[in-house]
Structure 1
Amino acid sequence: MWMTFMKLDLASVCLAVFLGLIFMVLFEIFRINSCRAQSPPGPRPLPFVGTVPYFLKNPMEFVSSLCQYGEMATIYVGRKSAIFLNTIELAKEALVQNASSFSGRPPIPLLIWITEGYGIVMATFGHSWRQQRRFALHTLRNFGLGKKSVEERVTEESSYLVPEMLRLEGKPFDPQHAIQNAVSNIICSIVFGDRFDYDNKRFAYLLEIVKENIIQSGSLTGQVFDLLPIIKHFPGPHQKIYQNAEELKVFIKEAVKTHRETLDPDSPRDFIDAYLLEIEKQKSNEDSTFHEDNMVMSVSDLFLAGTDTTSTTIRWGLIFLTQKPDVQEKCHFLFFTFLFFEEIVRVLGYDRLPSMDDCDKLPYTYVTVHEIQRYGNIVPFGVFHETTQHTKLRGYDIPKGTMVFTNLTAILTDKEHWKYPDTFNPDNFLDDNGHFFKPESFLPFSLGPRVCLGETLAKTELFLFVTSLLQRIRFSWPPDAKWPDMNGIVSVVRSPEPFNIICHSRGSTE
C-alpha cells in the first residue's frame, strides 16, 4: 500500500487531499444544519470555528445582537453548540428552578490546563465542589465576611488608598495599581492574614500578571487554545498564561509553607491556617477532597475573584463619574447637605470614613454605586455554566454537557426593566417617590448555586471604597485626553482600557 502511494504523482495527491477537504467541509455543513434545526435560533456558524470569529471581531456587539433571536439563542464555540439566556425570566428558570441541571462547569481546555480541575470557581459540579465551596463560605464568615470586622478592614484600607490617590494631586496618573492593590488587600488580609504596601514590587508584579491572564484567557490566544488544546505542547503566547499562573501558585505555596511552620492549631489566623487544619482533620476521611493542590487553587480562586472584579468595577466607576460630573458632585454634596448641614458634618465630616450603616443616610451615593455595577457590566455574558444532564428548556431539548451563558448585557439593559437602559443614570435605582428600588434584572453576581462566593464582600467594598473616594477627592479627566473605547477590553472580565485621571483634594474649606 505504501509503495502504491509513493507511485502517485503530486497532482493526484493534491487532488485527493482537496477532495477530502471538500468532503469534510460539506459533512460539517450538513452536521451544523442538522444541529441548528433542533436548537434555539442563533447566528449561522462557520465550519469548524463556529461563531468564534464573530465574537472576536466585536464581542459586545455580538453579545448584544443575540437578543434578536428571542429569549434564548444558540452560538457555536468551535464545533460545539452553546446557549445564551437573554432574559431574567429564563435565567431564573434555568439557574434557580432547574439548578441541578444547569450548575455544571464546562471543561474549558485553557482553564483545565492551569487549574487541573482543582479549586472552586471552575470545579465540576459535584462532591469536591460542594466540599470546597461549603468550607470556603464557612471559613470566610468566620474571618469576618458579612460582619463588622470586614467593614473595618475596608475602612482601614480606604485610609491608605485616599492619600495614595492624592499623591500626584493635580497630575494625570493611571489609578489601576492603587485601586487593584487596595481591593486585593481586603481578600489578602482574610486569606493570607496580611496586606501589602502599594510600593511592594513583587506584589505589584503579581497583580500585573493576574490582570494579564484575565485579559489573555478570553483573547484570540485563549480562544485558539480552547479550539486546539494540543498547542500546549508547543511554544507560543499561551505559554505566558501558564507561566503567569505558575508564578501565582509559587507565591501561594510559599505562603502556605510559612503558615505551616508557624501554625497554632488553637488559634487559626486566616483562611490558609483554617485549610491546613481541615486537611489534618479530614485525613481519615476517604471522601475528603482537602489536600494541598485543592488548597492552592482555592486560595488562587479567592485571590483572583476578590481582586479583579471589584477593582475593575471601581475603575469603570471613575470613568462614568468623570463623564457625568453632575452625578459626582451630587454624591459629594449629599454627604453634607442631606437633611441638615450641621448634622451630616457631625456624622461624617471630612475625616470620619463611612460605614455600611450610612447607606440610608447617603441614598444617592448608594444608588450610584449600584448604577456603576449595572452600567459597568464587567461580566457581559456571565460565568460559564454547563448542563449536568439532558434537560428541557422552553420546549427545546438541551443535551448533557451543553455550555450555558447568561446574557447579562441584555438583562442589564432590558428596556422593560430599566428607565434609562443605555446610559449611566443612578435614577435607574430610584422609584417614583425617590426611594431606593432594585429591579429584578439587577444580577451582577449571577443566580443559583453558582452565585458569586464573594457577593457580600464585593457589596461592602464597592460602597465603602467609592464613598470614601468621593468624600475626599474630586475626579476629572485630563485636558485634551481621549476617552477610552467604552466597549472596553472584553475577556473573562470586561475591563476599561488603561486611562489616566486627575485627583483634586476636597477639604473642610470647600
Structure 2
Amino acid sequence: MESMLRYLGWTSVGLALLGGLLFLLMLEIFRLNASRSRSPPGPKPLPFVGNLPHLMKNSMAFVRSMAEYGDVSCFYLAQKQVIVVNSLPMVKKAFIQNGGAFAGRSPVPILDFVTNGYGIIMAPYGTSWKQQRRFALHTLRNFGLGKKNVEERVAEEAQYLIREMLKQEGKPFSPMHPIMNAVSNIICSIVFGDRFEYDDKRFAKLLEILEENIQLAGAPVSRMVYVVPFIRHFPGPHQKVWQNVKSLKDYIREVVEEHRKTLDPENPRDFIDAYLVEMTKQQSNEDSTFNEENMIMSTSDLFLAGTDTTATTLKWGLIYMMDNPDVQERCHEEIVRVLGFERSACMDDRAQLPYTHATVHEIQRCADIIPMAIHETTQATQLGEYHLPKGTKIMPNLAIFLADREHWKHPDTFNPENFLDEKGQFFKSDHFVAYSLGPRMCAGETLAKAELFIFLTSLLQRLKFSWPPGAPRPNMDGILSIVRSPFPFSTICRSRGTTH
C-alpha cells in the first residue's frame, strides 16, 4: 500500500510537471502568434528559441533570405523580435535622416557582462556614448587619422609585413598572425604610442585572445545565452570570453599605469595620454563620463575594432587573390606600371590605380564581414507602416545590399568590374555600405580605407600568392560571429623580384 502511494505521488508530480510544461508551451505559441499578427512577415519561429536554429544552420543564407519577405521583415532571436530593413531607401531614411531614433545598441548577453555599458562599441545610446565617441574621433584625428603621417605608418608597416611573410617564402604558412600583427600595429601606435614586433610573445597572446573571442562569441553555446540567460553562470565558452576580456583589460591597466608615471600633460603621446589629460580637465564637471572604466573599455574597443575588421578583410583579400590569379596579375601590372617596385603607395595614388582600387572594394563587397549589425530604437518611432516601440531590435540588411542582383553587374562572382565605369575608372556605388550607416557607422572608416588600400597594394606590388598544391579550398561561407571571418587557411608567397 505504501509503495502504491509513493508511486501515485511521483506520478502526480510527473503529470503536474508535464501539465506545466504544456501550459508554458501553449502560452508561448499564443504569444508568438499574437506578436506575428501585428509584425512584418518573416520565417516562422519555434517556441522559446525563435529562429536561432535557422540562423545557426546557415547564417549568411538566412540573413539574405530575409529580403524574400519584403522591404521590412522580421525574425526572432529566442523570444526577442528583430525587425529587418531590406530596402536601401528605407534604411537611409531611418538610419541617416532619423538616425538618433535608431542609434541604440542591441545588448549582446555574452558581452554585456564585461562591458557594463562602458566604452563605445557596445555602449547604449546616450550621454556617455556620445562623449566617448566624440572624444575618440577628435583624438584619433589629432594623432594623424586621415593625414599623411598615418599613411606613412601604414606603408612602413607594410614593408615589415612583407619581410615577415618572405621568411616563409615558397612554403605553405598561415598568414593569420602576421596580418593581425601588422594591422594591429597601426592602431597600437595611436592608442599605446608604440608598435610590436612580430615575435613579441606577449603581444601574440593578446592577438590570440582577440581572435579567440571573436570565434567564441559566435559559438552555439554562446548564442544559447539569448535563450537561457542564466547559462552565463555555468561552464562553457562564454566563460573563456570573459577571462580573455579580463586579460586584455588587465594589460591595458598596466599600460595606463606606465603612462601615468611618464605623462607630460602638455605633450600627450597617444590616446591614453590624451584620455588621462581629459580626465583631469573634467574632474569638476558633474556630467562628465571620463573615468577609469570608460578609459579602459574605450581603449579596448579601439584596439578590437582597429585590429579585427581590417585584418579579417585582408585575410579574405588573400583568399580572393589566390582564387582569382588573373585579377592578382592585373593588379600587380597596374601597380608596377604606376609605382614601380620600390615606391610605396599612398591614398593619392588611387586615381592612377583604378583597377586596384576597385579590387579593394570588391574584396569588401564579397567578404561582407558585418552582415548583421543589430541596433535598437531609442524612442517610439515609425518605420513605413509599422509602429516601433522604444527598445525594438532593428537590423539594416547590409548583406542584401552588397549582393543586390538588380544593382551589381556581377552580383554572384568576384569581379572588380562591379566598381568600374565604361571608361575603366573607379565608380563607387551607393549600395556599397561596408562601413554601415548613421550615427553608429564605423568610427575608423578613414583609417580602415588607408590600411586596406596601402596594405593590399604593397603586398601585390612585391609578392605573388597562390594556394599550396593540393590544399582544399576553405568553406567560403566563413564563420559568422561578431564579424564574418574566413576559416583557417594557408598560402604560399613568392617575391616578385624587382624586374619582370
Correspondence for 1:417: 407
Correspondence for 1:359: 350
Q: Name the SS for the 1:504 alignment partner.
A: strand
Aligned residue runs from structure 1 range 32-431, under 5 A: 32-337=32-337, 344=338, 348-381=339-372, 383-431=373-421
Q: Name the SS for the 2:105 alignment partner.
A: coil
Worse-matched range after superposition: 55-64 or 287-296? 55-64
Q: Name the SS for the 2:382 alignment partner.
A: strand
Q: Measure, in 2, the Cα distance between the counterparts of 1:197 and 1:443.
A: 34
Worse-matched range after superposition: 84-93 or 123-132? 84-93
Q: Measure, in 2, the Cα distance between the counterparts of 1:226 and 1:202.
A: 33
Worse-matched range after superposition: 95-104 or 5-14? 5-14
- Write the letter of the residue equivalent to 1:438: K
Q: Measure, in 2, the Cα distance between the counterparts of 1:206 and 1:336.
A: 36
- Write the letter of the residue equivalent to 2:407: H
Q: Measure, in 1, the Cα distance between the counterparts of 2:184 and 2:468.
A: 27
Q: Is 2:456 aligned against 1:469? A: no
- RMSD of equivalent CA atoms: 1.3
Q: Measure, in 2, the Cα distance between the counterparts of 1:385 and 1:237.
A: 25
Cα offset, 1:250, TM superposition = 0.7
Worse-matched range after superposition: 293-302 or 71-80? 71-80
1:294-323 per-position Cα deviation (integer Å, ceiling 9, x unaligned): 000000000000000001000101010111
Q: Name the SS for the 1:457 alignment partner.
A: helix
Aligned residue runs from structure 1 range 430-441, under 5 A: 430-441=420-431
> Given the alignment, which residue of 467, 488, 504 partners 2:494?
504
Structure 1's consecutive aligned runs of 4 or more residues displaced over 3 angstroms after TM superposition are 5-8
TM-score (norm 1): 0.95
1:140-194 per-position Cα deviation (integer Å, ceiling 9, x unaligned): 0000001111101101101101111111111110000000000000000000000
Correspondence for 1:460: 450
- Write the letter of the residue equivalent to 2:217: S
Worse-matched range after superposition: 328-337 or 149-158? 328-337
Asked if the contact 2:85/2:397 (under 8 Å) is kept, the reply is: yes
Q: Measure, in 1, the Cα distance between the counterparts of 2:226 and 2:199.
A: 36
Asked if the contact 1:214/1:492 (under 8 Å) is kept, the reply is: yes
Cα offset, 1:7, TM superposition = 10
Count of aligned pairs between the two proteins: 496
1:459-508 per-position Cα deviation (integer Å, ceiling 9, x unaligned): 00000000000000011111111000000011110000000000010112
Q: Name the SS for the 2:474 alignment partner.
A: coil
Cα offset, 1:257, TM superposition = 0.5
1:50-79 per-position Cα deviation (integer Å, ceiling 9, x unaligned): 101110111111111111101121111111
Please, which runs of 5 or more residues in structure 2 have no aligned partner?
none
Cα offset, 1:399, TM superposition = 1.8
Q: Measure, in 2, the Cα distance between the counterparts of 1:192 and 1:375.
A: 33
Q: Name the SS for the 1:156 alignment partner.
A: helix
Please, which runs of 5 or more residues in structure 1 have no aligned partner?
338-343
Q: Measure, in 2, the Cα distance between the counterparts of 1:287 and 1:7.
A: 65
Q: Name the SS for the 1:446 alignment partner.
A: coil
Asked if the contact 1:180/1:308 (under 8 Å) is kept, the reply is: yes
Q: Is 2:441 aligned against 1:443? A: no
Q: Name the SS for the 1:330 alignment partner.
A: helix
Asked if the contact 1:39/1:397 (under 8 Å) is kept, the reply is: no
TM-score (norm 2): 0.97
- Write the letter of the residue equivalent to 1:36: R
Q: Percent identity?
A: 60
Q: Measure, in 2, the Cα distance between the counterparts of 1:31 and 1:318.
A: 48
Cα offset, 1:335, TM superposition = 2.1
